[in-house]
């Protein structure tokens, strides 16, 4: 049956959205379902043929999409983050890149008999993991905080670094192919590097200045930056053939390391962009994969994948871990986790397309080789990482910690009390003053919106399984509640009352959020803030036979507000209603108590009034 181009384009969008939704439901990287969906729609069912749909526009569409991916990835590469995350992360970037590239190149050349150029390009592409595949895996595996931080920051940093290396290798191959003699080839390569680095740095500086000095209105920050980047990409390619990818990568790195440039909103824009553009791109790329090309690689493909997963990765980890405090269990776990992601798939498809145009016959093996590496690493490691973490005893014992939305004085007092009980706590807030105060009090805090794309890769939720909404921002409270209800579950997301029970129905919060209300006996944030302003403090009280719960209530004249109870099995539970709890001896109460019990204040006042006047 022949269908229209409009129908095919709409189908790509619908299929990409379904794959993103499915990945969200099963807690796995979306790229796996996007590739599977594209293969099913393309070579398996024959429904989608990208060459027929896009015609001559196929290559420009892919190249522009890859430029966007590399630019967005390079915006996350900050030099201080490389320096600030331990020796293991700093070692993994150069050591892991060299070892993986070296082994991947030799394996592809000697086992699959591809050209040296294609083998070297495959080796460079194979080093890229990326946060889009690491973050969902860490959420499902839940390794201890030390290993989770190593893997997360490796993925964040290696994403643009690996892309830059792959682009440099590709530029070298293209330059060599255009030159008849060594000198001419070096001239073309040098010209490409000069245009890429100089134009990229200048463009990054100009765009950063425009954002810093507010030369663009706020609503044009995202669209303006994206449009300017695409214009620079096209200009670079006109100045030096195929230098555009290098240019936009340098541009993104330059902007990421400029001071006081508001790029967080641009990074958040990537979330919508990935659904609309990047997801569709992978449907298109996967639809171009041919089973015959995979079959031609034969058993050599399996051997190459095995060498990368079982030799290159462990060698990288054990060499990088020299001089660190990691034990053999930590090293073995890290040796198994290295799923490849979006950058590897996009770059391989574009570069293979280019190399085939230049006459490299073995370039056709690049796409199926990289795609099978992605599928093998994501599938095998997603399925086996959790059992391996338990076997090696590097998994977190449970997700009993709390993410607190808000770093205001009320939230900080609660966070400090939980921290003293050794309960994992992370505070998230968009108010810099609140975040600064929380950091001064040595609380773990995230500055930003916890439901953003940036938070999905940077917010460390190791050991966190509950959300407490203690914030005055109603809109953000609702967004966070919806987001984490599907992640933590209905019983693990609790919010304060907002005092809107008497409003008209059209002003009432959605029923799904109303079900989470009732934290701390139905008190509102305004009431809590008022109590704290009056001098109330969060206090931990140990119950016993000599000091029962009734004694506790009498001591504070029933003015204390019980926030949490810690039972004798060390399970901590937020209190919804004081009437629903029956604390026993050996339990611990975390309560908001007045500065001084009313009874004591009254007795003190009476005693002072009866005190005899001095002679």
Segment 202-239, tens digit of pLDDT: 999 999 998 888 888 888 888 888 899 999 999 998 88
Closest-CA residue to 484 (of 459, 506, 508, 507): 459
Q: Taking the CB of residue 102, how many other CB atoms lie within 10 A of it? A: 14
Q: Cα dist. 578→364, 440, 522, 565, 591 in Å?
A: 68, 33, 10, 10, 11
Tell me the average pLDDT across 92-109.
Answer: 90
Q: How far apart are CA 400 and CA 434, in angstroms?
A: 24
Q: Taking the mean position of all CA atoms in its chain, how far away is CA 425?
A: 19
Q: Sketch out the chain's domains with CATH numbers.
A: 5-180+263-392 (1.20.1530.20), 401-501+510-593 (3.40.50.720)
Cβ neighbors of 220 (< 8 A, separation 6 or more) are: none
Q: Cα dist. 194→184, 230, 236, 246, 553 in Å?
A: 15, 19, 11, 10, 74
**Which pLDDT does position 182 carry in this prediction?**
64
H or E stretch covering 154: helix 145-178
Six-digit token pair at 247? 């240019």
Residue 131 · residue 29 · CB < 8 Å:
no
Residue 97 · residue 154 · CB < 8 Å:
no
Q: State the pLDDT confidence band at 317, using cuts at 50, 70 and 90.
A: very high
Residue 287 · residue 51 · CB < 8 Å:
no
**Which pLDDT does position 234 carry in this prediction?**
92
Q: How far apart are CA 307 and CA 238, in angstroms?
A: 40
User: Is the pLDDT higher at 597 or at 241?
Assistant: 241
H runs (alpha helix) in 27-57: 30-39, 50-54
Q: Helix, strand, or coil here: 113?
A: coil
Six-digit token pair at 526? 């305004």
Tell me the average pLDDT across 446-470.
Answer: 80
The per-residue pLDDT for range 433-455, each reduced to its tens digit, is: 888 899 999 899 988 888 876 77
H or E stretch covering 447: strand 445-447
Closest-CA residue to 312 (of 77, 104, 615, 545): 104
> For the chain, what percent of residues have pLDDT higher than 90?
11
Residue 48 · residue 11 · CB < 8 Å:
yes
Mean pLDDT of the chain, nearest integer:
80
The position carrying tokens 């663009």 is 216
Closest-CA residue to 81 (of 167, 149, 2): 149
The position carrying tokens 């990691």 is 326
Q: Helix, strand, or coil here: 593?
A: strand
Rounded to 10°, the helix 313-320/97-112 angle is 160
The per-residue pLDDT for range 322-354, each reduced to its tens digit, is: 888 888 999 999 999 888 877 787 788 878 888
> For the chain, what percent of residues have pLDDT higher than 70?
86
The per-residue pLDDT for range 485-531, each reduced to its tens digit, is: 877 777 788 888 765 544 444 444 455 555 556 678 778 888 888 88
Residue 540 · residue 592 · CB < 8 Å:
no
Q: How far apart are CA 408 and CA 389, in angstroms?
A: 36
Closest-CA residue to 412 (of 499, 471, 479): 471
Closest-CA residue to 151 (of 274, 390, 331): 331
Q: Is the pLDDT of residue 431 over 60?
A: yes
Residue 247 · residue 200 · CB < 8 Å:
yes
Q: State the pLDDT confidence band at 613, using cuts at 50, 70 and 90.
A: very low
Q: How far apart are CA 318 and CA 489, in angstroms?
A: 38
Closest-CA residue to 565 (of 547, 548, 551, 584): 584
Q: Which of the 8 DSSP states describes residue 494?
A: E
Q: State the pLDDT confidence band at 243, using cuts at 50, 70 and 90.
A: confident
Closest-CA residue to 139 (of 26, 20, 16, 17): 26
**Which pLDDT does position 82 carry in this prediction?**
56
The per-residue pLDDT for range 186-197, each reduced to its tens digit, is: 777 788 888 889
């Amino acid at each position: 049956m022949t269908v229209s181009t409009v129908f095919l384009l709409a189908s790509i969008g619908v299929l990409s959205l379904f794959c993103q939704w499915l990945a969200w439901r099963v807690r796995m990287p979306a790229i796996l379902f996007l590739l599977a969906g594209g293969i099913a729609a393309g070579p398996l069912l024959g429904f989608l043929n990208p060459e027929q749909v896009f015609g001559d526009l196929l290559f420009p569409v892919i190249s522009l999409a890859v430029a966007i991916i590399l630019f967005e990835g390079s915006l996350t590469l900050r030099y201080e983050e490389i320096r600030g995350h331990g020796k293991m992360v700093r070692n993994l970037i150069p050591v892991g890149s060299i070892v993986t590239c070296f082994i991947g190149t030799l394996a592809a050349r000697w086992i699959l008999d591809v050209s040296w150029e294609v083998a070297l390009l495959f080796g460079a592409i194979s080093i890229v993991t990326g946060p889009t595949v690491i973050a969902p895996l860490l959420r499902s595996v839940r390794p201890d905080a030390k290993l989770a931080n190593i893997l997360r920051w490796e993925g964040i940093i290696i994403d643009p670094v690996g892309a830059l290396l792959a682009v440099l290798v590709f530029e070298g191959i293209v330059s060599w192919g255009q030159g008849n003699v060594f000198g001419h080839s070096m001239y073309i390569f040098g010209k490409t590097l000069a245009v890429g680095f100089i134009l990229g740095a200048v463009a990054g500086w100009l765009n950063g200045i425009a954002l810093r000095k507010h030369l663009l209105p706020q609503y044009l920050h995202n669209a303006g930056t994206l449009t300017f980047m695409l214009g620079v990409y096209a200009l670079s390619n006109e100045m030096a053939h195929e230098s555009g990818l290098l240019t936009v990568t340098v541009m993104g790195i330059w902007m990421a390391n400029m001071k006081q440039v508001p790029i967080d909103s641009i990074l958040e824009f990537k979330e919508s962009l990935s659904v609309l553009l990047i997801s569709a791109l992978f449907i298109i790329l996967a639809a171009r994969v041919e089973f015959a090309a995979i079959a031609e690689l034969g058993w050599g493909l399996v051997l190459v994948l095995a060498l990368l997963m079982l030799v290159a990765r462990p060698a990288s980890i054990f060499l990088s871990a020299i001089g660190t405090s990691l034990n053999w269990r930590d090293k073995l776990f890290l040796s198994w986790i290295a799923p490849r992601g979006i950058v590897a798939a996009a770059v391989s498809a574009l570069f293979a397309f280019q190399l085939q145009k230049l006459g490299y016959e073995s370039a056709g093996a690049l796409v199926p080789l990289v795609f099978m590496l992605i599928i093998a690493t994501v599938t095998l490691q997603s399925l086996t990482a959790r059992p391996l973490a338990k076997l090696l005893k590097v998994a977190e014992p449970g997700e009993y910690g709390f993410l607190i939305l808000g770093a205001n004085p009320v939230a900080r007092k609660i966070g400090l009390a939980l921290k003293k009980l050794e309960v994992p706590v992370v505070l998230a807030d968009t108010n810099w003053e609140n975040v600064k105060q929380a950091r001064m009090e040595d609380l773990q805090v995230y500055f930003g919106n916890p439901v953003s794309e940036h938070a999905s890769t940077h917010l460390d939720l190791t050991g966190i399984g509950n959300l407490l909404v203690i914030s005055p921002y109603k809109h953000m409270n609702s967004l966070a509640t919806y987001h984490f209800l599907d992640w933590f579950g209905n019983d693990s997301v609790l919010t304060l009352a907002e005092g809107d029970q008497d409003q008209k129905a059209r002003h009432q919060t959605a029923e799904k959020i109303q079900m989470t209300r009732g934290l701390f006996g139905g008190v509102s944030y305004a009431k809590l803030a008022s109590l704290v302003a009056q001098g109330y403090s969060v206090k931990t009280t140990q119950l016993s036979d000599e000091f029962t719960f009734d004694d506790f209530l009498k001591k504070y004249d029933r003015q204390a507000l019980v926030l949490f109870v810690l039972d004798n099995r060390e399970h901590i539970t937020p209190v919804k209603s004081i009437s629903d709890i029956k604390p026993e001896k050996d339990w611990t109460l975390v309560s908001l108590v007045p500065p001084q019990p009313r009874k004591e204040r009254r007795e003190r006042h009476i005693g002072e009034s009866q005190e005899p006047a001095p002679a």
